[in-house]
């Protein structure tokens, strides 16, 4: 594991550990996977403009998001069923993130009980909310997370139903034995495709933010915003922040890569709350580019499951350490002393 020097190295090792259908479930996107590929390609089209002799020295990576300290502008994106990648699941992830002062967004479909996750980390925990047709189910999940000490909600807005993930259709994907949501009432969750089609509420509108705020004191962020128009509506509806995300290319194939739409969302939010980005972040320079284009922080998705697969908490730790080391390197070598010093002058489109 220690010879893995990049997140792609970790992915290569993880692939050999996971069954082909589980690998496909994790790696795959919707349709032809154009958006999935673009999330990464877009980072290759941007170059950094380093400043020299700035006297910036060793950079400070720490930042504050929603009045909490993060050791670096990097969090773990909500991912269903960490138990698919390692039996200790979200508890292992939380331990690794917590030891490094990094936050974790826990999925509604977590494979580990919220209380067990909260017991092993002092770093911020946010709950990702899938809103079900049955609001009582959603309410119970939210209340349980709040009781367990979670600090914010992340409403996933891009999933009125699950996208067309052709790898899973071809594999007839069902969850491996023993993998199930640990914070929902017992039920038949074996096929994420069927469950995601039948149980999620396809009729949600912006009033859901007000409803969530009426059942909890926690701030609500909206995940899955890809336009300035929706970013504005999110803030007007009472959202505390937005997450620019196309769900890692797993929902609608053909929507733009997240980095492309980040500037219009940042402009629309206009400082009224944090703007986070996920999708295709695999290198420290990717993090720095996202910061330069206005993100307050990024969330990391698939690589976390890869880390779990290769070594549980130690594997996730390796993934987070690589990214933090690479970001430190990129900030040092561009003369960027702190997270807030990363601005648009730091980047230039490919020419
Ligand atoms: C296996 C898997 C499960 C996911 N589960 C959820 C989920 O439960 N809720 C959610 O909002 N997003 C979910 N996502 C999307 C991620 O939160 C995130 O948007 C995406 O993975 C980021 O892209 P990246 O994997 O390229 O870093 C999932 C993604 C993957 C790969
Ligand atoms: C179990 C699913 C609803 C979660 C997932 O795969 C996703 O949100 O991408």
Summarised one tens digit per residue, pLDDT across range 235-245 is 999 999 999 99
- Computed over every residue of the chain, the mean pLDDT equals 97
Prediction ipTM score? 0.99
Half-sphere exposure of 348 (CA within 13 A, CB side): 5
What number is the average pLDDT over the span 269-289? 98
Sign of CA dihedral 199, 204, 208, 209: positive
Overall fold of domain 7-349: TIM Barrel (3.20.20)
Q: Which ligand 2 atom minimizes the distance to the CA of 247?
A: 9
Q: How confident is the model at residue 262 (pLDDT cuts 50, 70, 90)?
A: very high
Residue environment code for 92-129, b if the CB has 16+ CB neighbours within 10 A, otherwise e: bbbbbbbbbbbbbbbbbbbbbbbebbbebbebbbbbbb
Please, which pLDDT band fits residue 8 given cuts at 50, 70 and 90? very high
Give the Cβ contact number of residue 266 at 10 Å. 21
195 CA closest ligand 2 atom index: 3
H-type alpha helices, 270-301: 284-292
Residue 89's φ and ψ, nearest 5 degrees, are: 50, -135
296 pLDDT band, cuts 50/70/90, is very high
Which residues, other chains included, contact 126 with Cβ-Cβ below 8 Å and sequence gap of 6+?
Answer: 103, 104, 105, 106, 150, 151, 152, 153, 154, 221
pLDDT above 80 for 260: yes
Indicate whether residue 125 lines ligand 2 (CB < 6 A). Answer: no
Regarding the beta carbon of 109 and ligand 2, being less than 6 Å apart is answered yes
Identify which ligand lies nearest to the alpha carbon of 79: 1
Q: String of b and e for 224-241 (b: at least 16 CB within 10 Å)?
A: bbbebebbbbbbebebbb
**What does the alpha-carbon distance between residue 73 and residue 95 come to, in Å, rounded to a whole number?**
18
Cα 1 to ligand 2 centre (Å): 27
The answer to whether residue 351 scores a pLDDT higher than 80 is no
What's the rounded mean pLDDT across residues 27-47? 98
For the cut 80, the answer to whether the pLDDT of residue 350 exceeds it is: no
Residue-level pLDDT at 193: 84
Distance CA 175, CA 125 (A): 25
Ligand nearest to the CA of 28: 1
Taking only the tens place, the pLDDT of each residue in 124-139 is 999 999 999 999 999 9
Q: Atom 4 (ligand 2): residue with closest C-alpha?
A: 80
Taking residues 170-184, report their average pLDDT.
Answer: 97
Q: What are phi and psi of 69, to 5 degrees?
A: -85, 130
> What is the DSSP track for 319-336?
HHHHHHHHHHHHHHHHT-
Three-state DSSP at 241 gives strand
Joined tokens for residue 73:
């502008």
* Mean pLDDT along residues 194-209: 91
**Nearest by Cα to 49 from 262, 351, 261:** 351
Whether residue 315 is predicted with pLDDT greater than 80 in this model: the reply is: yes
Strands 68-70 and 63-65, bridge-based pairing:
antiparallel
């Amino acid at each position: 594991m220690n010879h893995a020097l990049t997140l792609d190295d970790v992915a290569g090792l993880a692939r050999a550990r996971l069954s082909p259908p589980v690998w496909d479930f994790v790696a795959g996107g919707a349709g032809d996977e154009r958006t999935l590929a673009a999330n990464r390609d877009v980072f290759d089209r941007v170059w950094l403009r380093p400043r020299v002799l700035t006297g910036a020295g060793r950079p400070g990576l720490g930042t504050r998001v929603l009045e909490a300290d993060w050791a670096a502008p990097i969090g773990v994106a909500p991912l269903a069923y960490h138990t698919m990648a390692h039996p200790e699941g979200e508890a292992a992830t939380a331990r690794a993130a917590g030891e490094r002062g990094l936050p974790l967004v826990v999925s509604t479909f977590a494979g580990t009980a919220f209380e067990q996750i909260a017991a092993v980390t002092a770093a911020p925990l946010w709950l990702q909310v899938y809103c079900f047709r049955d609001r009582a189910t959603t309410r119970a999940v939210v209340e349980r997370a709040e009781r367990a000490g979670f600090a914010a909600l992340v409403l996933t807005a891009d999933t009125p139903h699950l996208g067309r993930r052709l790898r899973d259709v071809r594999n007839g994907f069902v969850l491996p034995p023993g993998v199930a949501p640990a914070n929902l009432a017992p039920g038949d969750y074996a096929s994420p495709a069927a469950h995601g089609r039948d149980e999620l509420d396809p009729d949600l509108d912006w009033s859901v933010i007000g409803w969530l705020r009426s059942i909890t004191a926690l701030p609500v962020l909206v995940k899955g915003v890809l336009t300035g128009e929706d970013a504005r509506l999110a803030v007007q509806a009472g959202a505390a922040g937005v997450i620019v995300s196309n769900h890692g290319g797993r929902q609608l194939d053909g929507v733009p890569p997240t980095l492309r739409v980040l500037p219009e969302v940042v402009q629309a939010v206009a400082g009224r709350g944090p703007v986070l980005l996920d999708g295709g972040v695999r290198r420290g320079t990717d993090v720095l580019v996202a910061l330069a284009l206005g993100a307050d922080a990024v969330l990391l998705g698939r690589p976390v499951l890869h880390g779990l697969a290769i070594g549980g908490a130690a594997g996730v730790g390796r993934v987070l350490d690589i990214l933090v080391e690479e970001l430190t390197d990129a900030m040092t070598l561009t003369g960027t002393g702190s997270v807030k010093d990363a601005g648009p002058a730091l980047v230039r489109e490919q020419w």
